[in-house]
Amino acid sequence: MPVITEIEDFKRLYRRRVPKMFYDYCESGSWTEQTFRENSSDFDEIYLRQRVAVDMAGRSTKSQMIGQDVAMPVALAPVGMTGMQHYDGEILAARAAERFGVPYCLSTMSICSIEDVARNTSKPFWMQVYTLKDDAFMKNLFDRAKEAKCSAAVITVDLQVLGQRHRDLKNGLSAPPKLTPASVANMMTKIGWGMGMLSTKRRFFGNIVGHAKGVSDPSSLSTWTAQAFDQSLNWDRIREFRKMWDGPLIIKGIMDPRDALEACNVGADAIVVSNHGGRQLDGALSSIRALEPILDAVGDKIEVHIDSGIRSGQDVLKARAMGAKAAWIGRAYIYALGAMGQKGVKQALEIIQKELDTSMALCGHTDIEKVDRDILMVPKDFSGNWA
């Protein structure tokens, strides 16, 4: 068994175990992938300030997100088709998250349905909702989330149109997949993955098939997907969604202080500064660079979280010290899930927590709640002086 010491180790195993089309689906950004790359590399421009001879005993990474207790300020971000990365992927990731004590957010485009995840877990999870045209479907989705006792709804606002990811088109990854001969040939070499997929019935979009009008089987999905997303979305429409859901609400996909202010006006409890992991607008700033101006605009009004590019506990620490209340991870746990299932996700969370805890200690802190900007050295123009 290989010795796993960092998230990158999972990525190597994941690449070997999972069909190329699903690896590529995860490990890509839109167009040139500039934003995808910079989401991670921009963290390297922020340095940590080492302190010594400070009492480092009795440390804690415990925190809260939207008033809910968490073992560390990290959440598992919604990732579509997680159940194709590993059989029953959403259920396994949700279980690992609940055992570790961090929130799991289920995607609208998941393979396991809301009900299925609820039946197979024991703590509430969060439900991500895409902004679709069909009011009846939207209302029903919020009702289903409520029925499943989801403890927050997360409305993703950065996907009215889809950013083009070249590799998905080349691999025939669509909903449902249009397999190319090369994809089929590659899939047949992934024996462990294939055996797992054969052992489960969960292979289609569980929240859509049988719930969206006219989608009774996977073959009708592509027509539905093509027209389902609401290109004319505006903040009034988001206010309507707010009325459909009276629980805690998080708005995900904010990159501009003006949009952050709009999210506050809608009555959200938190926002996630996110560029969808570089999968939507290529050429946008990395999330970590976009964070500060947003904090300046709304930091005293709403909880501000961040995602995109986070691959380690040090990244979490930097995000937190910059002022984000919490960091969400996407690919970091998908690598681990694809590589080793539930056990992998649990181990990935442990690795991140250890990196967070040790780095925090070496910066002279014992409590994540007390960490502030003082532990960082950030280039003066990090957030940019743009014309």
Ligand X SMILES: Cc1cc2nc3c(=O)[nH]c(=O)nc-3n(C[C@H](O)[C@H](O)[C@H](O)COP(=O)(O)O)c2cc1C
Q: Would you tell me which residues interact with ligand X (CB under 6 A)?
A: 25-26, 39, 77-80, 107, 109, 128, 156, 252, 274, 276-277, 279, 307-310, 329-332
DSSP, collapsed to helix, strand or coil, labels residue 376 as strand
CB of 53 to ligand X, least distance (A): 35
128 is in an annotated binding site: yes
| Residue among 331 and 346 whose Cβ is closer to ligand X | 331
DSSP 212: S
333 is in an annotated binding site: no
Q: Tell me the pairing of strands 63-65 and 68-70.
A: antiparallel
CA distances from residue 387 to 34, 38, 281, 384 in whole angstroms, order as listed: 20, 20, 19, 9
| Residue among 252 and 365 whose Cβ is closer to ligand X | 252
d(CA 190, CA 87): 13
Q: Which of 86, 166, 211, 276 is catalytic?
A: 276
| Residue among 284 and 365 whose Cβ is closer to ligand X | 284
Q: Encode 5-49 in three state secondary structure.
A: CCHHHHHHHHHHHCCHHHHHHHCCCCCCCHHHHHHHHHHHHCEEC
Residue 305 known to be catalytic: no
325 is in an annotated binding site: no
Which residue is nearest to ligand X, using beta carbons? 330
Q: Which residues of the chain form beta strands (DSSP E)?
A: 47-48, 63-65, 68-70, 74-76, 105-106, 126-130, 152-156, 249-254, 270-273, 303-307, 326-329, 376-377
CB of 372 to ligand X, least distance (A): 24
DSSP, collapsed to helix, strand or coil, labels residue 224 as helix
CB of 58 to ligand X, least distance (A): 30
CB of 77 to ligand X, least distance (A): 3
384 token code pair: 């940019």
107 is in an annotated binding site: yes
CA distances from residue 264 to 253, 260, 273, 290 in whole angstroms, order as listed: 14, 6, 13, 17
d(CA 275, CA 354): 27
| Residue among 276 and 365 whose Cβ is closer to ligand X | 276
325 token code pair: 């209340």
216 is in an annotated binding site: no
| Residue among 9 and 365 whose Cβ is closer to ligand X | 9
Residues of each annotated binding site for FMN: 78-80, 107, 128, 130, 156, 252, 274, 307-311, 330-331
Binding residues for glyoxylate: 25, 165, 276, 279
As annotated, the active-site residues are: 276
Binding-site residues, in ranges, read 25, 78-80, 107, 128, 130, 156, 165, 252, 274, 276, 279, 307-311, 330-331
